[in-house]
Chains A and B, each alone.
Chain A
Amino acid sequence: MTPMKPPAFDPMQMTRRQFLGRAATGIGVAALAGLLNPGLRGAPDSVKPVLPHFAPKARRVICLTQAGAPSQLDLFDYKPHLRARFKEELPESVRGGQRLTGMTSGQKTLPVAPSLFEFKQHGKSGIWLSELLPHTARIVDELCVIRSLNTEAINHDPAMTFLQTGSQQAGRPSLGAWLSYGLGTENQNLPAFVVMISRPSGPTNAQPLHERMWGAGFLPSLHQGVRFSPGQDPVLFLSNPPGITDQRRRAMLDDLARLNHMKFDDYQDPEIQTRIAQYELAYRMQASVPELTDLSKEPRSTFELYGPESSKPGTYAANCILARRLAERGVRFIQLYHRGWDQHDKLPEGIRSQCFDTDQPTAALIQELRQRGLLDDTLVIWGGEFGRTVYSQGELTEKNYGRDHHPRCYTIWMAGGGIKPGIVFGETDDYSYNIARDPVPIHDLNATILHCLGIDHERLIYRYQGRDFRLTDIHGNLVKQVLV
């Protein structure tokens, strides 16, 4: 392990007034641009940012989080020989005494449930995909499919917390918060970390989410994800109250700025200047955010590309269009959560409806990013918090089965900036139960994501309660084979 460099100071102790006060040159617009989300850049007592550590391949991330855990067996991890083992008991040699959840530990049998869906090879790369993903099939040559991800947690909340923060227990910053902290923002009028959530259109089990999953943990709270919601106020409290026109707001803010400037003249506290700048940013957001979320000027072809759901605000498809627009505007970390992948029972019906929600818009997003030249420096990640079991939870019939939580192996894919396209990495055993080759623990995934953004995961550090913390904590190895 490379020695951890203790930061010269605790950024939480460093106030903006100090930061600005120490800047040798005057504070111009450029410095204020970073104030919306001033990436404290590792060692901010020098003005020169130390991050990124090396030239990044990706400048931003779009994280398509499939909450509830999609079944790798029915989408990506093709196991043709399982058809012959329909309803056979899962061999103990495969299970290896693994702890089961309370939902299936009481089951008398663990019958093998082969996927009901047909798989085919697609694209030049010949990657296997199930019939549930016809649109993903079109863009499969852009993807790096990792079939050997594995996690430590077996339940949704700790597993999602682990995936996002590198720890099953609450209190650590999420990936987006780390990036906001480390790299700051590129767009002064928008937050660095935006979160959008969609509910399933079908009647499937939607596990709850938790604000901590996009929280800043012990990092300063301005790094936490800002939730964009459908409706009148995409960002909370964005609209002026009734009766306050833009003109009246401007007049009021001008008076406020005058008074705050007078205060600054008297007290010389740079914090006052910061506040003045934040009010101006707020005013600019009142214009920039509605402009961003207004899809009415998108051509009809956009909605055709993203599919029928994309014209309904708040759907995953509409959020995918917004993700592209956010990426175009330089937002650092764009995270979508689509809920409803928790198919303990009626998996065939549930997963069909989930794929209806997500397949076409996901593919459309990749396609558009490619067309607009954004995919080269945008890292896209698709995946959930764990996988699902090869054995059926509940009754197994020819047409129906369910699958329980499975942390030992599952599939995600990555695409874009810094990632090798058109490859499959990692391999599971014949039952998609254990990893046969090239395991990728969550910490390795996170280390690799940071690497794409030009960050050495061992050097993005924050000291808290006397200890240096990293997203990957004391773990993480770069998965070099998936890098360009």
Chain B
Amino acid sequence: MNCARCHDHKYDPLTQKDYYGMFAFFHNVPESGVGTYSAPIRRNTPPFLKLPSPETQEKLATLNRELTEANQRLTNLTATVLSADRVEWEDRARSAVPPWSEAETLNANAGTNSLAIKEPGGWVQVPSLKPDVRKVTMAVRVPQSRVTAVQIELALASDNSATNSSKVSVSKLKLVRAESPEAEKHPLPLRPRTLAGSAPAADLAKALDEKAGSSWTVTLSADRTELGAFELLEVARSSNNVMVKLELDLAPDDLLPAWQLRLRATDVASDLLVPPDILAVVRKPAAERTAEERKQVDDFRLAHHPENLALSQHVADLKKRIDETDLSIPITLVMEEMAEPRPTFVLVRGAYDKKGELVTASTPSHLPAFLSGQPTNRLGLARWLVDPGNPLTARVTVNRLWQSLFGVGLVRTTEDFGTRGELPSHPELLDWLALEFVRTDWDVKQMMKLLVTSATYRQDSRATPALRAVDPENRLLARGPRYRLSAEMIRDQALAISGLLVEKWGGPSVKPYHPSGLYEQVVSGTGPSTYVQGKGDELYRRSLYTYWKRSVPNPAMLVFDAPFRETCTVRRARTTTPLQALNLLNDPTYVETARFLAQRMMREGGATPQSRIRQGFRLATGREPRSAELSVLVTGWRRMEASFRGDRPAAERLLTVGETRTDPASDPAELAAYSVVASTLLNLDEAITKE
């Protein structure tokens, strides 16, 4: 049908209009894509179905319950906080200039040089600094045993007569406990506060953020001390007086004349560090306050009430966790019709910008007519596809099922039922199977059962030379199918035979063994550029779950004719190459699998080499070995065992391949010899061939 995108089909009765008629069924989705190249986001365009696991559902329910409770507690608390001690708080707030206590300055440094301290007041004297010295630190002891806030004070140096103003830019400010070097690694979390006469919190915040080029800048003048107040979000407590260390990084842009610095502290509650606007409201008589002002005061108190703060934080955390959990739920996208169908045109020569005739959704004219009374949308299309009066869908489907069991379809060109496709070898059989498929309600399992239990499928795959000459490809089905297994089946079978297969269902893709260096040669510098091998069970899942990167598909799969998955492939080639032999002989997957099969043979196969090898042969081929076959393998094992007996390190090295460990009680030479036999079994033509 794809040919008809640009022109009427050359061989089949498909017009270009047919193509765009079919196209119109799907050109009708409101999907617009979400996120952009530079800012991808993880949410998808609705509609979609969320498919949470029971564990996730349980977790979400718990979190939502906790959120409801926390919100309730928060509401109750709000009422209590605001009503309980309003009068008392306002009294204290009105008198509020926070009682900053002078602290004892213990020492101070600029870079590695110690700085002078001027008393009274503990003022640290900062001289004109060299350009490479940008860090000033000072340690103080405060008179309290608990500190809730500090105030940093900057002024021109008292002996600075040269200038009458100076600019100081603090690009980074850090406060740490000074009791131990360990405590110094954990800065105290700070919140800038706006107070009467001190710098606005927004300015102070510039000294706390990590942004380059952002700093708290003050202009010092002779008659004025610049102040900055910071609340400690974790109250610093000590059995004795609290000691803290202040670190300032100065912006490197200007050379400063001498200035001075000190730090003072307080232990008043956070809600008594009252900013000027709130203070102004509180100083008004209650009756004169507007509703807006009353709310302003309430909000301030709530925002600085420790218990309320903790609870609000808890609520925010819960919401965040709920959101994260929600985003972790796998979803499946659902297609939605647009309310007003998008106009669809025939595109002249297939060019996206060359619109031709306007078309509406329709099925190809040479196929059975669209069902009357059905909507001309995807639902109607789906019903038309599987309508008993439309034989094509069922024929194509059973032909593919046939191919999956017999290796060749009744119509060999499974992908092409047009005039260039091949005619069926058994037309009546194909029709009967198609009708049977419809009659049994499109039950795939039932159809597979019918096929595998048929006399045709159960025939012996042997053929006399005469029969082979007449029908080399077995199109007449006078014998059973015989062909090499698919890439996925070969690996899965080896894992299953050896007992390594992990039969877990579902989940994200996994990364089994993979040669190193393949990604690095071809991928660009961005994104995951290397293959990180999975661990444990992930190495032994069915190949269905193997991670697939289209630009570098799994090489072992490609070797066995797995398609690239860039285009739809319903029929794979089936080749035989030396690269396949190298893969089955040397890929760690199969070396490890052989060792596991060897262990299984030794465990389940009795005590003699004969019985053990017989067991391995049965597992690999599904039949008993003939005596000649057994004799080759047993003789081979004896020779290999003797060889490893004389070269124990080699045996041990062979047993190290793969992530699983070998039973330390096992005899290396013996196990290595069985591993080689197991590898022989896994490489048998019969083992990787269906017959």
Contact = CB atoms under 8 A, between A and B. Distances in A.
Given A229-B521, A466-B413, A282 B653 contact: no
Contacts of B552: 211
A221 to B, nearest CB: 5
Given A222-B575, A268-B464, A259 B421 contact: no
A215 B558 CA distance: 10
Interface in B562-593: 564, 566-567, 571, 573-583, 585-588, 591
A137 interface: no
Contacts of B582: 235-238, 282, 285-286
Nearest to B592: A241
A22 B515 CA distance: 39
Contact of B3 (A241, A245, A252, A467): A467
A286 B588 CA distance: 17
Nearest to A245: B650
A282 B578 contact: yes
Contacts of A207: 524
B643 A197 contact: no
A103 interface: no
B676 A252 contact: yes
Interface string A401-421: 000000000000000000000
B636 A252 contact: yes
Contacts of A258: 632
B551 A208 contact: yes
Given A237-B587, A271-B576, A211 B553 contact: yes
A208 B583 contact: no
B528 interface: no
Contact of B420 (A15, A35, A466): A466
Interface residues of B, number: 91
B330 interface: no
B679 A18 contact: no
Contact of B684 (A221, A260, A466, A467): A260
A442 B351 CA distance: 20
B633 interface: yes
Nearest to A14: B473
Contacts of A210: 522, 550-551
Given A208-B551, A211-B551, A242-B656, A12 B573 contact: yes
A239 B586 contact: yes
Which of B552, B579, B586, B629 gathers most chain A CB within 10 Å? B579
Nearest to A274: B576
Nearest to B526: A208
Contacts of A247: 643
A275 B650 contact: no
Contact of B576 (A16, A209, A227): A16
A248 interface: yes
A197 B552 CA distance: 13
A4 to B, nearest CB: 11
B226 to A, nearest CB: 43
B643 A248 contact: yes
B107 interface: no
A242 B657 contact: yes
Contacts of A281: 578, 581
Contacts of B412: 10, 13
A208 B523 contact: yes
Contact of A268 (B10, B468, B483, B550): B468
Contacts of A109: none
Contacts of B286: none
B564 A211 contact: yes
B652 A243 contact: yes
B578 A285 contact: yes
Contact of A282 (B464, B553, B585, B672): B585
Given A237-B585, A271-B576, A209 B522 contact: yes
A21 interface: yes
A343 to B, nearest CB: 15
A5 to B, nearest CB: 15
A258 B686 CA distance: 13
Interface string A212-241: 100100011110101101010101111111
A448 B418 CA distance: 34
B12 interface: yes
Contact of B583 (A17, A199, A236, A248): A236
A22 B553 CA distance: 36
B645 interface: no
Nearest to B407: A15
B352 interface: no
Nearest to B626: A262
A186 B404 CA distance: 35
A272 B559 CA distance: 18
B578 A36 contact: yes
A244 interface: yes
B415 to A, nearest CB: 5
A404 B555 CA distance: 34
A263 interface: yes
Contact of B567 (A10, A170, A222, A249): A170
Contact of A243 (B464, B518, B653, B689): B653
B11 interface: yes
B685 interface: yes
B670 interface: no
B515 A243 contact: no
Which of B576, B588, B654 gathers most chain A CB within 10 Å? B576
Contacts of B679: 252
Interface in B514-536: 515, 517-518, 520-525
A266 interface: yes
A320 B628 CA distance: 51
Interface in B448-492: 461-465, 468-469, 472-473, 482-484
A17 B574 CA distance: 12
Given A206-B524, A211-B551, A229-B517, A21 B566 contact: no
B524 A278 contact: no
A13 B564 contact: no
B526 to A, nearest CB: 9
A395 interface: no
B564 A212 contact: yes
Contacts of A278: 576-578, 580-581
A221 B581 contact: no
B680 interface: yes
Contacts of B520: 199
A465 interface: yes
A248 B463 CA distance: 35
B17 to A, nearest CB: 20
A235 B123 CA distance: 74
A255 interface: yes
B524 A238 contact: no
A255 B632 CA distance: 6
B656 to A, nearest CB: 7
A463 B422 CA distance: 12
B639 interface: yes
Contacts of B626: 262
Which of B522, B633, B691 gathers most chain A CB within 10 Å? B522
26 contacts: A12-B571, A12-B573, A35-B576, A170-B564, A197-B521, A207-B524, A209-B521, A229-B517, A236-B515, A236-B556, A236-B579, A237-B586, A242-B650, A242-B657, A243-B650, A248-B640, A248-B650, A251-B639, A256-B684, A258-B632, A259-B680, A267-B462, A271-B483, A274-B576, A466-B413, A467-B11
The 4 tightest CB contacts between A and B, nearest first, are A243-B654, A466-B420, A282-B581, A282-B578
Interface of B: 3, 10-12, 412-413, 415-416, 418-421, 461-465, 468-469, 472-473, 482-484, 515, 517-518, 520-525, 550-553, 555-556, 558-559, 561, 564, 566-567, 571, 573-583, 585-588, 591, 626, 628-629, 632-633, 636, 639-640, 643-644, 649-657, 672, 676, 679-680, 683-686, 689, 691
Given A37-B577, A207-B524, A247-B643, 12 more contacts: A197-B521, A220-B575, A235-B579, A237-B556, A237-B587, A243-B653, A244-B676, A249-B585, A256-B680, A260-B684, A466-B421, A467-B11
